[in-house]
Amino acid sequence: MEKKAHFVKRDFPPREAPSLLLLLLVVAVLLLNALLYLYLGNLHGSSGRADAEPSLCPYGSFKLGPVKNCSPWLSCEAINREVRKLKCVGEGAVKKVFLSEWKENKVVISQLTKPELKEDFLHGLKMLKALQSKHVVRLLGYCEKQFTILTEYHPLGSLRGLNETLHIPKYKSMNTWHRRLMLAIDYVSIIHYLHSSPLGTLVMCDSNDLDKALSQYLLTSDFHILVNDLDALPLVNRSAGRLVKCGHRELWGEFVAPEQRWPYGEDVPFDDELMPPYDEKTDIWKIPDVSNFFLGHVEGSDIVRLHLFDIHAACKKKDPAERPSAQEVLDTYKKVLTLLIREAAMPSTREML
């Protein structure tokens, strides 16, 4: 007892204790801020690293898992010899998708469903080859003559199953506004990557309703998003006056952008020849609906929605030219994440002070 009193008296005179404590708290707050900046800097950096090859292998090769060396993309012969089909894990209009095995790795074989769609299939393969980056599913090989593509397997499947995945006990800790906003940031980063890709401005056309749009992206086991289906990615070249149309059929519904709908009323029958083309701003129109799906209904997601209200209102402008670019949406999302993380961190520091 006496010892304690002595210690306090000698080393920390009561007069100086509050100022020392304050100094410690200020240092703690500064440290917290520095950590926050480092964390967000990392996030910004990783989202902006649009052109980096995911496995850092030269073009035309890949590496899987802990393996050190890069292997060249598998050829027809290697696929036929070394890959074993296990079971069907997905099917779309263009491809049938099989979980398969290659040298003890789980991989995916995608095969053309019907010959009428081989143009789409080959376009998808061409895009997959040209756009390999951290945003795109990893290509492991292909066989054009057999209409086969080999890619990395992602057990969590497409984004359609996101809510179900987040209810599995193993992933429940991921079901937070923070993780969900990070997924929205991943998604907008991909749209930004496609709009400023090495090939030019590409439009994600295979997205005429929310379910369809979500089915084109995969959820990785570390909770990131990759674009997987690149079969319908037409090129816009505004300076050359080149615009696009997503298919040749009439589109309906609120999910597609207004300029994608038939503009001449019910009395005039739809005619693809008369249908005016449009640009990549159709993707921007769809962002609020996709992000709303990501944000879901968890504690804090409505606060995030409130902060995104203005940028989402801008995405929904009827005039495509008035909508923001994917870069502007991305910047706003990141600012909101920074702000909300700081706000979430502040109450405890305020209490400490």
Site residues, ligand ATP (CB under 6 A): 89-90, 92-95, 97, 108, 110, 137, 151-154, 157-158, 206, 215-216, 218, 228-229, 231
Strands 235-236 and 217-219: unpaired
The C-alpha atoms of residue 337 and residue 324 are separated, in whole angstroms, by: 19
What's the closest the beta carbon of residue 319 comes to ligand ATP, in angstroms?
Answer: 29
Q: DSSP for 5-58, please give it.
A: HHHHHHHS-TTTHHHHHHHHHHHHHHHHHHHHHHHHHHHHHHHH-TT--TT-PP
Phi and psi, residue 59, nearest 5°: -55, 135
CB under 5 to 8 A by kind: which of Mg ion, ligand ATP, none does 208 bind? Answer: none
Return the number of the residue (181 or 219) whose C-beta is nearest ligand ATP: 219
119 in Cβ contact with 74 (< 8 Å):
no
Phi and psi, residue 74, nearest 5°: -70, 140
**Hey, is 83 helix, strand or coil?**
strand
What's the closest the beta carbon of residue 93 comes to ligand ATP, in angstroms?
Answer: 4
The C-alpha atoms of residue 85 and residue 92 are separated, in whole angstroms, by: 18
- The single-letter DSSP state of residue 91 is E
What's the closest the beta carbon of residue 95 comes to ligand ATP, in angstroms?
Answer: 4
CB under 5 to 8 A by kind: which of Mg ion, ligand ATP, none does 333 bind? Answer: none
- Selected range binding Mg ion among 164-172, 227-235, 292-300, 339-347, rule: CB under 5 A: 227-235
- Selected range binding Mg ion among 89-97, 110-118, 165-173, 219-227, rule: CB under 5 A: 89-97
What's the closest the beta carbon of residue 68 comes to ligand ATP, in angstroms?
Answer: 23
Return the number of the residue (152 or 283) whose C-beta is nearest ligand ATP: 152
| Sign for the pseudo-dihedral over CA of 108, 110, 111, 114 | positive
231 in Cβ contact with 192 (< 8 Å):
no
291's tokens: 């992000």
CB under 5 to 8 A by kind: which of ligand ATP, Mg ion, none does 97 bind? Answer: ligand ATP
Return the number of the residue (102 or 177) whose C-beta is nearest ligand ATP: 102
Interface positions, 197-226, toward Mg ion (CB under 5 A): 215-216
Q: Is 229 in the site for Mg ion (CB under 5 A)?
A: yes
Q: Is 92 in the site for Mg ion (CB under 5 A)?
A: yes
Number of residues that bind Mg ion (CB under 5 A): 4
Q: Which residues contact 159 (CB under 8 A, 6 or more apart)?
A: 214, 215, 217, 218, 219, 225
What's the closest the beta carbon of residue 215 comes to Mg ion, in angstroms?
Answer: 5
CB under 5 to 8 A by kind: which of ligand ATP, Mg ion, none does 157 bind? Answer: ligand ATP
What's the closest the beta carbon of residue 90 comes to Mg ion, in angstroms?
Answer: 8
Return the number of the residue (97 or 225) whose C-beta is nearest ligand ATP: 97
| Radius of gyration in angstroms for the set of CA atoms belonging to the chain, rounded to a whole number | 25
Q: Which residues are near Mg ion by CB under 5 A? A: 92, 215-216, 229
